[in-house]
Structure 1
Amino acid sequence: MDLISRISQHFQESAQTKLDAIEMLAAPIAEAAEAMVGCLLGNGKILACGNGGSAADAQHFAAELVGRFEMERQGLAAIALTTDSSIMTAIANDYSYKAIFDKQVRALGQAGDVLLAISTSGNSANIIEAIHAAHDNDLRVVALTGKGGGEIAELLRDTDVHISVPSDRTARIQEVHLLIIHCLCDGIDCLLLGVDE
C-alpha cells in the first residue's frame, strides 16, 4: 500500500466534495444563518445536537458562538445538548438513548429558538425525536445531513432549513459539515456586525 497516495486521495476527494457542494448548499447555508440571527436578535438561543463526530460538531458550533469565531463580539446564546453527561445518562437510563436530546429540547427550547440537528445519515433516532420536540415547542430546525437526508428529510417543515451534503461517505459529509459550521458562524457574525465584504 502506498500510504502517501492514499492520503493524497483523501485530500483530493475532500476538496472535490466541497467544490461539488457549493452550488447546492450556499443558499440554504445563507438561509440558516439568517434564521439563526433572527432567533438571536429576538433573544432566542440555538440548541445543537448530534452523535459521535456530529456531537463534536455541535459543541464546536456552540463554542464559536458563545466565545467568538474570527471577530470580536459579545457572546451569543448557544447550547450543545451533548455536553452534560449526567443529563444524558439519566435520560438514557430512565427512558432510552433515543430520548437524550428530545427531553432537553422540551425542557430548554422555547418558541423562536433554533435547533441545529446534525446527522450524517439523516436517520439518527435521537435526532429525529429532537426534531419532533422542536416542532412541538415551535422551534425552527436547521438540519445538517448527508446521504440524501434520510428520514429527517421527510420530517422537516417548509419553515425549516435542510442542508444535505451531496455525498454517501460519512468522512466526506463530516468534513463538509465542519465547513458549513464555519460558514454559519461567519455569516452570523457578518449579519450581526454589519460586515459588507
Structure 2
Amino acid sequence: MITSTPAALAGLATLALVGGAALTWAPSDAATGHRPPAQRTVPAKAATGPVTCVGGTAKGLVSKLSAEPFSFSGTTGNDVPVTGARVNVKGPQRGTDTVLVTFSAESYYSGSGWMGIEVHKDGVPIAPFADNGSPLAFTSNSSYVSASAQFCTKVGRGTHVLTVEASTTGDATTDSGWLDDWTMSVQRYE
C-alpha cells in the first residue's frame, strides 16, 4: 500500500511546476533566433482535443526497417506514401485491439514550411491528426536529423492496412523531403 503525506505531495507539486517551467523555455531557440514556420490558416473541419489510447496485454510486434532513401518533391499538404512503410494488421475476432505505431527516420527538409508525417489506417489518418492543414511536423530542418513520432488507433475485426504518409507544407515548387534509415514498429495490445 502506498501512503503519502502532505509534505511529500507539496514536494511533488513543486517539482512538477519547476519541471514544467523548464520544459517551456528553449534556450537554443533564444540563442539562435530560430522560430517555427508560420502555420497555414485553414479552418478545422471538426473540433479536436486530446485522444486517449489505452491497451492491455501485449499481443505482438511487427517492425519494418529500410536503409533505402526515400525522397520526394514538395506536396503543399498532399500526402505521399513512404515506399515500403506498410504493415497489415489482422483485427481480433471480437471487440477491438489497440495498435501503437512508431515511425523513426533520419530526415532532411528544404523549403519554407516543414515536413509532416501521418499514419493512415485503411486510407484514413489516425491520431495524432489535425484536420486543419497543420500536419504533425516531423522536421523543418535543412540538416540531417533523427526524428520519431507515435500514433495510436483501435482495430476491429478484419485485416487493416497501416501506411506512413509524408507531406510538405510550403511551396510545392521549392520544397523537398528526404527520409532514410527508417523503422516502422507496430505494437498490438488487447
TM-score, normalised via structure 2 length? 0.28
More strand by percentage: 2
More helix by percentage: 1
Larger Rg over CA atoms: 2
Structure having greater relative contact order (Cα 8 Å, sep ≥ 6): 2
